A and B are shown apart, each in its own frame.
With several copies, the nearest count.
Chain A
Amino acid sequence: MKVQSFELKPFTEESLRILDEEGRQVSHWDHGLTDKQIVELYRLMWVTRLLDERTLILQKQGKIAFYASSAGQEAAQVGSAYAMEPQDWIYPSHREQGVFITRGMPLEEIFGHFMSRSLDPARGRQMPGHLGRYDLHLITLSSPVSTQIPQAVGTAYASKYRKESSVTMTYFGDGGTSEGAFHEGLNFAAVFQCPVVFFCQNNQYAISVPLNFQMATKTIAVKACAYGFDGFRVDGNDVLAVYSVTHYAVQKARSGQGPTLIEAVTYRYAPHSSADDDKRYRRPEEVEDWQKKRDPIKRLRLFLIRESILSEKSDSELLEQLKEQVMQAYEIAERSPHPPLASFLEDVYAEEPWFLKQEKQEFVELYQEEYERGEK
């Protein structure tokens, strides 16, 4: 796909799409993906879905204490993350399993994180879902919504400052657009013309709050107007469209043409998190409707089969293989130890100051037994 030849209209109310719900190609943009790459997108979406399904089971079994599901949003996550190069920086939000998987974070680390094992790069410090791998340019997220947005802009500025070509992408939800940090971040990006892409997964709800109680605009993309750059609305369940629009925005940023806002219209199937009860605010039929009629994986599958890129048989083989892979990763994580107990007293500073040394010493003395258990 060449940036120049690609004609996208910003600020439309309709979502850009390549595939319709039945996986039929309805527009002819040159996304530039090979069949192999499209199958790879399909695989990544399935891995994300299967990880999600396994995690929800583990959560119900009490093996994972908390989980925010990404089911339904795979196309938005995988399609966008796939449009980046390894050197590009990613600031994810709180349900971006598909982004971590696409960028190459090993599944056993993800499970290790969910279960606070030593495999967790963050040493069990955070609630499940708060992943990060600095060496993969995946910035460890926090819970507060939208704080990552101005940070992503600063990271993009630093790349530009050093005249590197890397681009920064930051993820957030529809809810995240209401925070002041969203506004400040987008405005900074515009003023400093930073190579950054703002990727909003509009899944219709901020926990229980539907869009019309969050904002009075018809789209989220239109908000880019307030900063002087383009906003695009894309069907977030069409992985080819998501990839194409994101790739365009990434290349635009890379070539020095500044920031873009992307709104990917999608839906989450599960409650907000394992602590939520979505029946209190949405009808099960609404959820079913999205699951049955607009599922992103099903849609790509229909396309792949119709276009004979994938056979029914190799599809089911693939699925079996992926299930096995996910299960194995889980088992590796399960068998691995927790971090040392007293390690929660580390990493506050680069070097432990006197008071943390004291606190750690007191802790170790008092909890020596547990500590030793933890060491094993």
Chain B
Amino acid sequence: MPSLPMVRAIRDAIRTLMLLDERVVIFGEDVGKRGGVFLATEGLQQEFGIERCFDTPLAENGIIGFAIGMAINGLRPIAEIQFTDFIYPGFDQIVSELAKFRYRSGGQIAVPVVIRTPWGGGVKGGLYHSQANESYFIHTAGLKVVVPSTPYDAKGLLIASVQDPDPVIFFEPKKLYFAPREEVPEGVYTVPLGVARLVREGKDVSIITYGSLVYVASEVADKLYPEGISIEILDLRTLLPFDGEAILASARKTGRVIALVEAPKFCSFASEISAFLAENVIEYLQAPIKRVTGYFTPYPYWTDAYYIPTLKRVEKAVREILAY
């Protein structure tokens, strides 16, 4: 089994899907000859031809609208948006069209489009190459939203997404593109949408998170373990539909929860996790539900390292709710 970093696992998923199913095509800015700016589609144009893997003009509304039309006519398009920060020119196609086609047609028209896009901070990308903007999509009924945190999951979730009958926004934490590596099986396998991964069992505090912050949470857990602090970590993987049962179970067990996300706080998915708990299991809670999030600013360049939650901030939150 080859050991791959996430971006290669994603490439492997796309290639596996293309080998399996003629309906799968992939396109976007620089996706063809260049193989994508992160090389997620490297070599696929050579292997599958320019009709199946190709460059598009620089126009995200066009790309996503084009993908929708393909899906309506029987293809299984994967559209790459170069950075999720550049998805907004296509936001109308996502919110008004992709998310609502099945509903508005009374169930007649399915639009199985997958939009893959590099997501998240921690790479000194400044305001426009760093955003964690998943909340906009989670608030949008009709979409599914996925964020893998490991190479294995990335491949399995991407295959599941392309095979899913509903549109999926597939966020790829670019901070994790090249490390860590992991053994990734060849060929087809899926990781089901909607199911969280218990990264680590614990009994004192639950950290509910996804993407690259899974690793920050793990560092904190490692650091505090010798002090006898036992942290449970849940990697949600799918944010819509999220694994409500897993979240509730963990909160019931520990009674102390941190919702940990890169995005700015208000109306973030951290708010959702917290509200979901406050609505359903408040009687189990022994402390405030802490949200550790990005600051409520655009994403800064120079101070990149301080923007998304750090070990220090998460540790502080853990200690605070334990001391509560």
User: A residues engaging B (CB < 8 A)?
Assistant: 65-66, 89, 91, 116, 120-127, 130, 132-135, 139-140, 142-145, 147, 149-159, 161-162, 168, 175-176, 178-181, 183-185, 187-188, 191, 206-209, 213-215, 275-276, 280-281, 338-339, 341, 344-350, 353-356, 359, 363, 366-367
- On whether the beta carbons of A359 and B57 are closer than 8 Å, the reply is no
- On whether the beta carbons of B65 and A185 are closer than 8 Å, the reply is yes
Q: What would be 28 A-B contacts, judged by CB atoms less than 8 Å apart?
A: A91-B69, A125-B302, A127-B128, A130-B126, A132-B104, A132-B109, A139-B109, A144-B96, A144-B128, A147-B97, A150-B93, A157-B70, A158-B69, A158-B70, A158-B74, A175-B57, A178-B58, A178-B62, A180-B62, A181-B62, A184-B57, A191-B56, A208-B30, A213-B57, A344-B297, A344-B302, A344-B307, A348-B142
Give bound CA distance, A126 to B51, whole Å: 36
Give bound CA distance, A113 to B30, whole Å: 28
Give bound CA distance, A159 to B126, whole Å: 32
- On whether the beta carbons of A157 and B30 are closer than 8 Å, the reply is no
For the complex formed, measure the closest distance between the CB of B30 and the CB atoms of chain A, giving whole angstroms. 5
Known: A147-B96, A151-B68, A344-B302. A121 touches B108 (CB 8 A): yes
Closest Cβ neighbor of B130 among chain A residues: A127
- On whether the beta carbons of A127 and B65 are closer than 8 Å, the reply is no
Proximity bits, B68-96, A CB within 8 Å = 1, else 0: 11111111010000000110110011001
- On whether the beta carbons of B295 and A359 are closer than 8 Å, the reply is yes
Closest Cβ neighbor of A277 among chain B residues: B34
Give bound CA distance, A132 to B107, whole Å: 11
- A122's partner among B77, B105, B296 (CB-CB below 8 A) is B105
Q: Contacts of B29 on A, CB cut-off 8 Å?
A: 206-207, 209
Proximity bits, B58-69, A CB within 8 Å = 1, else 0: 111110111111
For the complex formed, measure the closest distance between the CB of A282 and the CB atoms of chain B, giving whole angstroms. 9
- A208's partner among B34, B59, B102 (CB-CB below 8 A) is B34
Q: Contacts of A147 on B, CB cut-off 8 Å?
A: 65, 92-93, 96-97
- B302's partner among A89, A124, A191, A353 (CB-CB below 8 A) is A124
Q: Contacts of A215 on B, CB cut-off 8 Å?
A: 57
Other A-B pairs, 14, CB within 8 Å; known A142-B100, A154-B66: A65-B124, A132-B109, A142-B96, A143-B85, A143-B86, A161-B70, A179-B58, A181-B92, A347-B102, A348-B103, A348-B296, A348-B297, A349-B102, A363-B306
Q: Could you say which of A130, A150, A359 has the most chain B C-beta atoms within 10 Å of its C-beta?
A: A150
Chain B positions 272-324 with a Cβ under 8 Å from a chain A Cβ: 295-298, 300-303, 306-307, 312-313, 316
Q: Contacts of B124 on A, CB cut-off 8 Å?
A: 65-66, 127
Known: A147-B65, A280-B35, A341-B306. A356 touches B296 (CB 8 A): yes
Give bound CA distance, A125 to B301, whole Å: 5
Known: A208-B30, A366-B312. A142 touches B128 (CB 8 A): yes
- On whether the beta carbons of B57 and A125 are closer than 8 Å, the reply is no
User: B residues engaging A (CB < 8 A)?
Assistant: 25, 29-30, 32-35, 37, 51, 54-62, 64-75, 77, 85-86, 88-89, 92-93, 96-97, 100-110, 124-129, 141-142, 144, 164-166, 194, 241, 244-245, 265-266, 295-298, 300-303, 306-307, 312-313, 316
Closest Cβ neighbor of A371 among chain B residues: B306
Closest Cβ neighbor of B127 among chain A residues: A126
Q: Contacts of B75 on A, CB cut-off 8 Å?
A: 158, 161
Number of A-B residue pairs, CB cutoff 8 Å, is 268
- A150's partner among B65, B106, B127 (CB-CB below 8 A) is B65
- On whether the beta carbons of A207 and B103 are closer than 8 Å, the reply is no
Q: Contacts of A122 on B, CB cut-off 8 Å?
A: 104-106, 108
Closest Cβ neighbor of B65 among chain A residues: A150
Give bound CA distance, A353 to B245, whole Å: 12
- On whether the beta carbons of B141 and A213 are closer than 8 Å, the reply is no
9 smallest beta-carbon distances between A and B, as pairs? A154-B69, A150-B65, A184-B62, A124-B302, A143-B128, A158-B73, A208-B34, A178-B57, A116-B302
Q: Contacts of B297 on A, CB cut-off 8 Å?
A: 344-345, 348, 356
- On whether the beta carbons of B244 and A355 are closer than 8 Å, the reply is yes
Give bound CA distance, A162 to B102, whole Å: 24
Closest Cβ neighbor of A280 among chain B residues: B34
- On whether the beta carbons of A126 and B301 are closer than 8 Å, the reply is yes
- B69's partner among A66, A116, A153, A191 (CB-CB below 8 A) is A153
- A124's partner among B65, B70, B89, B300 (CB-CB below 8 A) is B300
- B125's partner among A91, A127, A355 (CB-CB below 8 A) is A127
- On whether the beta carbons of B58 and A206 are closer than 8 Å, the reply is yes
Closest Cβ neighbor of A275 among chain B residues: B37
Closest Cβ neighbor of A143 among chain B residues: B128
Q: Contacts of B60 on A, CB cut-off 8 Å?
A: 179
- B72's partner among A155, A348, A366 (CB-CB below 8 A) is A155
Q: Contacts of A206 on B, CB cut-off 8 Å?
A: 29, 57-58
- On whether the beta carbons of B128 and A133 are closer than 8 Å, the reply is no
Q: Contacts of B110 on A, CB cut-off 8 Å?
A: 350
For the complex formed, measure the closest distance between the CB of A69 and the CB atoms of chain B, giving whole angstroms. 16
Closest Cβ neighbor of A208 among chain B residues: B34
Q: Contacts of B100 on A, CB cut-off 8 Å?
A: 142
- On whether the beta carbons of B62 and A188 are closer than 8 Å, the reply is yes
- On whether the beta carbons of A89 and B109 are closer than 8 Å, the reply is no
Known: A207-B34, A209-B29. A350 touches B165 (CB 8 A): yes
Closest Cβ neighbor of B167 among chain A residues: A349
Give bound CA distance, A123 to B104, whole Å: 8
Known: A139-B109, A178-B57. A155 touches B69 (CB 8 A): yes
Give bound CA distance, A360 to B46, whole Å: 49
Give bound CA distance, A345 to B129, whole Å: 19
Closest Cβ neighbor of A149 among chain B residues: B65
Q: Could you say which of A122, A206, A356, A363 has the most chain B C-beta atoms within 10 Å of its C-beta?
A: A122
For the complex formed, measure the closest distance between the CB of B14 and the CB atoms of chain A, giving whole angstroms. 17
Q: Contacts of A179 on B, CB cut-off 8 Å?
A: 58-60, 89
Give bound CA distance, A215 to B58, whole Å: 10
Q: Could you say which of B106, B141, B166, B306 has the most chain A C-beta atoms within 10 Å of its C-beta?
A: B106
For the complex formed, measure the closest distance between the CB of B244 and the CB atoms of chain A, giving whole angstroms. 6
Give bound CA distance, A276 to B55, whole Å: 16
Q: Contacts of B57 on A, CB cut-off 8 Å?
A: 175, 178, 184, 187-188, 191, 206, 209, 213-215
Closest Cβ neighbor of B88 among chain A residues: A144
- On whether the beta carbons of A214 and B102 are closer than 8 Å, the reply is no
Give bound CA distance, A41 to B109, whole Å: 29
